[in-house]
């Protein structure tokens, strides 16, 4: 059973936006997740009761952990390196985001229905925590790929995403306070990561690190290839790695969500939000970019994620 609680304090209101607002705390036993009321009203029950198939591939991440990059890698590996389709059909069509319709308050999109009707084998993206995934995932056991990233880079990347995608116009300091206080969309971060780390040895689960992908993409591609029971030549893998390079991804219209960005810019304009600088969905793609943007005090504040006792208890460490 789930309960839906109001969030105490003013901080959550300071990160409300035109796109995403009306936050609530969705709770089950000792777990919770910050989501819009729209998710509870239109998506929660349907997602929990969703039909799941053995040949599904689910990518589950906290937001801004290399999701798009990993989606493209998985789709390519599972579709015989079909570059032609990958370049002509958007990633959103090939690998739909199940709850995105709940995140855009002014837009009525039934993304659950889109995912449900996607031809098999389905590739499904979500940022939901473990306890909000479909119940049948745990009995059917489709392949699940999880990607973790160090919380300081996540926080900075999330701030820029929130400004440009959601229309946030507050300060970075306020946003980081909300992130650190678990009063931001999809929080809490550490619980999200730890729950999947604990099942990383299940045969249907592949746990990856963003930092490993940046440092040795080919090795992580090979891990994913083995996990999906695929086999490609070294030349084919090298070509895929080139396709997945940062410059290639950044300049690839099928993965950089320009249509969505254009729609959001119009929503911002309609609601009187001032124009801000140009933004690419695939922004920097670096390890340690937080060092360029966080103050010393902000960096220390986010140390709470790294020093969280629950990480030590389960043997998990972030990579920097």
Known catalytic residue at 192: no
DSSP code at position 130: G
Residue 33 parent element (H or E): strand 31-36
First to last CA, the chain: 38
What is the torsional sign of CA 164, 170, 172, 174? negative
**Cβ atoms of 168 and 175 closer than 8 Å:** yes
Of the candidates 123, 127, 192, 290, the residue annotated as catalytic is 127
CA–chain centroid gap for 43, Å, is 17
Q: Residue 205 region, left (φ>0) first, then alpha (ψ -120 to 50), else beta?
A: beta
**Cβ atoms of 212 and 49 closer than 8 Å:** no
Q: Beta strands 123-126 and 205-209: pairing type?
A: unpaired
Which letter, b or e, does each residue of 25-63 get, where b requires 16 or more Cβ atoms within 10 Å of its Cβ? bbeeeebbbbbbebbbebbbeebeebebeeebbbbbbbb
Helices (H) and strands (E) in the chain, counts: 19, 7
119 is written with which tokens? Answer: 């031809």
In sequence order, what are the beta bridge partners of 23? 36
**Cβ atoms of 266 and 131 closer than 8 Å:** no
Question: Hey, is 58 helix, strand or coil?
Answer: strand
User: Please, what's the largest Cα pairwise distance for the chain?
Assistant: 56
Q: Mind giving me the DSSP string for 70-93?
A: HHHHHHHHHTTT-HHHHHHS-HHH
> Known catalytic residues?
127
């Amino acid at each position: 059973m789930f309960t839906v609680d109001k969030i105490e304090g003013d901080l959550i209101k300071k990160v409300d936006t035109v796109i995403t607002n009306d936050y609530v705390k969705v709770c089950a036993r000792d777990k919770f997740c910050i989501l819009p009321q729209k998710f509870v009203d239109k998506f929660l029950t349907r997602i929990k009761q969703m039909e799941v198939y053995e040949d599904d591939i689910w990518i589950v991440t906290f937001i801004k952990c290399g999701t798009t990059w990993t989606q493209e890698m998985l789709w390519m590996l599972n579709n015989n390196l079909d570059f032609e389709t990958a370049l002509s059909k958007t990633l959103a069509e090939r690998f739909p985001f199940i709850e995105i319709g709940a995140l855009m308050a002014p837009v009525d999109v039934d993304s659950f229905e889109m995912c449900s009707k996607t031809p098999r084998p389905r590739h499904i993206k979500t940022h939901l925590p473990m306890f909000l995934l479909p119940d049948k995932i745990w009995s059917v056991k489709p392949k699940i790929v999880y990607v973790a990233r160090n919380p300081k880079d996540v926080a900075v990347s999330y701030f820029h995403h929130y400004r440009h995608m959601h229309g946030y116009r507050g300060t970075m300091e306020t946003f980081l306070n909300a992130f650190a206080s678990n009063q931001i969309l999809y929080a809490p971060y550490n619980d999200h990561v730890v729950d999947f780390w604990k099942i990383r040895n299940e045969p249907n689960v592949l746990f990856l690190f963003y930092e490993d992908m940046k440092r040795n993409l080919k090795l992580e591609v090979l891990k994913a290839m083995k996990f999906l029971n695929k086999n490609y030549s070294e030349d084919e893998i090298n070509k895929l790695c080139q396709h997945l390079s940062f410059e290639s991804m950044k300049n690839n219209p099928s993965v950089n969500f320009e249509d969505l960005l254009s729609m959001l810019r119009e929503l911002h304009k309609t609601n009187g939000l001032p124009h801000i600088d140009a933004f690419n969905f695939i922004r920097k793609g670096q390890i340690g970019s937080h060092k360029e943007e966080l103050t010393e005090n902000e960096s220390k504040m986010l140390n709470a994620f790294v020093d969280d006792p629950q990480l030590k208890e389960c043997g998990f460490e972030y990579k920097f």
